[in-house]
């Protein structure tokens, strides 16, 4: 019994690292999904033009692009732990800093800094999970984490619409900041260092050479393009749906929140299928079979809106 208990304890300790990543990633999602039902109200409170509402998500995504080129090579040289811990702390401070925002420019700067969390999570955090576990286990752990994390866009708009009816939006950012500090503490104590060679010098020329070499590989290039274009409809929906449905469509924040449930519920269902029913998610055959699913959704989205404009059902069903 003791050896089994010891193995269980060690396994549970190892899983605290993925748990920390769940909290960190969940918090990053919430900065958009919890706030989106009230984004029109926030823009008005900060006395800015409503047309700037999509810029909140755009700047968040721009932050997610800003450090991608740097963090991978940097963590290869100095280790994953210090880079990810720094990113988690920057994100927490950016969320807590929202308590002191008084202008739209300050709000957008904070959103940009919060967006850098995408860089740290995808480039360092999830890479560390892939390195800490074998290939099939890491894929299943990642799919399970995705299922949990994607509860944020599914329940976030509903929770945000409800909370903003009696709580100021700045307090929501403070709550998210507290969650991210919890993630930072778990990472501090439970994140393993998966990079064995550390202390190498960091030279921008070497980084550029590595990127050129990587993108000469057709799998890397086509894979990057496929991921980018594949995610584009969802990102566009998150950015523009408050303006389309609330400002132009006349929906209440609560009604808007309910339209997000089937969209992100579909993503959660797909992740559950990958975890429980797909034997080899790395198989090219499996990946190719997902293409008709996405193309069908895009056809419903486009043809539905062309044939019956201003009916939100087609957008929700297609996305």
Structure-model confidence comparison of residues 214 and 21, the more confident one: 21
Structure tokens at 204: 């921008």
Give domain limits for the chain.
Answer: 2-282
CB of 87 within 8 A of CB of 117? yes
pLDDT at position 6, please? 44
CA geometry: angle 93, 94, 99, nearest 5 deg: 90
The residue that leads in pLDDT, 80 or 215, is 80
Mean per-residue pLDDT for 69-75?
85
Q: Is 24 helix (H, G, I), strand (E, B) or coil?
A: helix
Within 10 angstroms of residue 144's Cβ, the number of other Cβ atoms is 17
Q: What is the mean pLDDT of residues 200-213?
A: 74
Alpha-carbon torsion, ordered 135, 136, 141, 142, to 10 deg: 60
Answer positive or negative: Cα dihedral of 89, 90, 95, 96: positive
Task: Domain 2-282: give its CATH architecture.
Answer: Up-down Bundle (1.20)
- For residue 117, is pLDDT > 80? yes
Residue 183, pLDDT score: 95
Give 286-316 pLDDT, tens digit per residue.
888 888 988 999 999 889 888 887 778 888 8
């Amino acid at each position: 019994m003791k050896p089994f208990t010891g193995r269980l304890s060690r396994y549970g300790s190892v899983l605290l690292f993925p748990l920390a990543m769940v909290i960190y990633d969940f918090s990053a999602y919430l900065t958009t999904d919890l706030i989106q039902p009230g984004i029109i109200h926030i823009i008005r409170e900060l006395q800015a033009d409503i047309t700037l509402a999509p810029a909140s998500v755009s700047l968040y995504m721009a932050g997610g692009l800003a450090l991608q080129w740097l963090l991978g090579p940097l963590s290869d040289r100095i280790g994953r732990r210090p880079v990810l811990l720094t990113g988690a702390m920057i994100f927490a401070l950016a969320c807590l800093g929202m308590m002191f925002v008084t202008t739209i420019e300050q709000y957008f700067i904070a959103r940009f800094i919060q967006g850098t969390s995408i860089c740290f999570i995808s480039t360092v955090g999830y890479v560390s999970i892939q390195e800490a576990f074998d290939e099939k286990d890491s894929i299943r752990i990642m799919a399970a984490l995705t299922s949990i994390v994607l509860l944020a866009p599914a329940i976030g708009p509903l929770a945000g619409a409800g909370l903003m009816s009696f709580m100021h939006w700045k307090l929501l950012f403070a709550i998210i900041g507290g969650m991210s500090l919890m993630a930072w503490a778990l990472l501090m104590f439970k994140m393993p260092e998966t990079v064995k060679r550390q202390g190498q010098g960091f030279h921008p020329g070497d980084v550029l050479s590595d990127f050129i070499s990587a993108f000469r590989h057709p799998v890397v290039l086509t894979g990057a393009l496929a991921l980018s274009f594949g995610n584009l409809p969802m990102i566009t929906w998150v950015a523009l749906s408050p303006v389309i449905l609330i400002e132009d469509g006349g929906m209440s924040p609560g009604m808007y929140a309910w339209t997000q449930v089937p969209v992100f519920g579909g993503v959660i269902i797909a992740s559950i299928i990958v975890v429980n029913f797909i034997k080899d998610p790395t198989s090219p055959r499996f990946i190719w079979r997902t293409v008709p699913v996405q193309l069908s959704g895009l056809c419903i989205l486009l043809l539905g809106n062309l044939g019956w404009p201003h009916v939100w059902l087609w957008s929700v069903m297609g996305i």
